[in-house]
Amino acid sequence: MAIETPAAPPEAGQRILGMRCRNCGATQPIGLSYVCPACFGPLEVAYDYAVIGASLTRETIASRAPGIWRYAELLPVDAPPARGLPVGSTPLLPADRLAWTLGLDRLWIKDDTRNPSLSFKDRAVAVAAARAVEFGVEALACASTGNLAGATAAAAAAIGLPAYVFIPADLEPAKVDHALAYGATVVPIEGTYDDVNRLCLEVADETGWGFVNINLRPFYAEGSKTLAYEIAESLGWRSPDVIVAPVASGAMFTRVARGFEELADLGLIARRRIRFVGGQAAGCAPVATAWAAGTDIIEPVRTPDTIVRSLAIGNPADGRYVVELVNETEGSVEAIEDTVTAAAIRDVARLEGIYPETAGGVTLAAAAAARRRGVIRPGDEVVALLTGNGLKTPDARSLGHGDGIARPGQPGLAPAIRPSLSAFERWLDGSAS
């Protein structure tokens, strides 16, 4: 069963106009819907920016509490929710030491590993959950490659709804435990993420549950725009030269671009071209492959083969739009080998004190690849989005490297020694066996 909302024309001064198809432009009222009935294209939320611009100013935003709801006028909810997790306002950090290693001149890291469930998915889920409450759904659910599982489970716990999380059966154990910790019902499926997603499409139609990335997807996707708002605000209300981000479904990647466009439309930042660089794991890189071939036709990857489970979506819903965006902005989509991803994780952890999961390693390696390609130019100001915490993918860090036994002055795990100063000194001078 599907939950329906009554059709009504937008009132004068109403900032949310309804839903619009990205393909054909057909409109319809706000509802628990995600596919255009006219052409089966994706639905998006439509806003009246004249109404928004009449009240939303830099000063208004600055006067509000931290978090994504400081930009409430640009989000598709009637009002900020009464309950929910404190999401957003994560730091934008200079990364000068890592920049040198990657061949960049100026690098900032948007550290979204610090959200409540340790990933950027908290942003998207917070918006979807707020709409789910307005629609009166009975449960919150998702199809997940990992980070979304924890974010959905945590958000459901915060608003008092049961959570159903559908995952590939071979998902990293740490991500499974994360979702279970919040009281979710976790349903492993024998197959790829695309198999999981197809099943969830049917379950959503039958149950009417609020699947954050299916029937709530138009609202869920909007949460990622807040990354752009925060980056611009942190830079003193301006945009960088380059944004580098991971590409899974492509929703976050394209919505960050839309967020900067909205700020320019409202006069909150100057309008200028930002080059967008995407990163995918080489073992599941349908968008990078299409871009390299000069086409926007995405050939699905049937069997992903990568440690980067969070990006292992073989048939990405927004893949074509990612290709269009990078072509329009003179960017690129880079395919990164797993060993290179692991090395990038180690580099950012030891040089900047930030420990990202595998998608973060892909992002940083993509920045280096784009610099070698010439997409990132000398002097460019680059912002890289680190979207999840490395504690969720602990085994990935040592791929192709191994820690070994640490010697004095070297990183790694030292051998166990007796609890005495003399034993420590013997190890320190290299005489310990």
> Tens-of-pLDDT digits for all 433 residues of the chain?
233 333 333 343 599 999 999 999 999 999 998 999 999 999 999 999 999 999 999 999 999 999 999 999 999 999 899 999 999 999 999 999 999 999 999 999 999 999 999 999 999 999 999 999 999 999 999 999 889 999 999 999 999 999 999 999 998 899 999 999 999 999 999 999 999 999 999 999 999 899 999 999 999 999 999 999 999 999 999 999 999 999 999 999 999 999 999 999 999 999 999 999 999 999 999 999 999 999 999 999 999 999 999 999 999 999 999 999 999 999 999 999 999 999 999 999 999 999 999 999 999 999 999 999 999 999 999 999 999 999 988 887 777 776 667 778 777 888 888 999 999 988 888 865 4
Q: List the structure tokens of 113.
A: 């590993």
* Residue 193 near residue 313, CB atoms below 8 Å: yes
The answer to whether 125 and 195 have CB atoms below 8 angstroms apart is no
Sheet holding 106-111, edge to edge: 92-94, 106-111, 381-386, 242-246, 275-281, 332-336
The closest of 173, 364, 198, 381 to 275, measured between CA atoms, is 381
Rounded CA separation 264/266 (Å): 5
Q: Within its chain, how far is the Cα of 126 from the centroid? A: 13
3-class secondary-structure state, position 190: coil
Virtual CA dihedral for 60, 61, 65, 71, nearest 10 degrees?
A: 120
Signed CA dihedral, 263, 265, 270, 273: sign only: positive
| CA 32/CA 26 separation, integer angstroms | 16
Q: Regarding beta strands 43-47 and 16-21, do their DSSP bridges make them parallel or antiparallel, or are they unpaired?
A: antiparallel
Q: Which two tokens stand for residue 253?
A: 């990647």
* Full-model pTM: 0.93
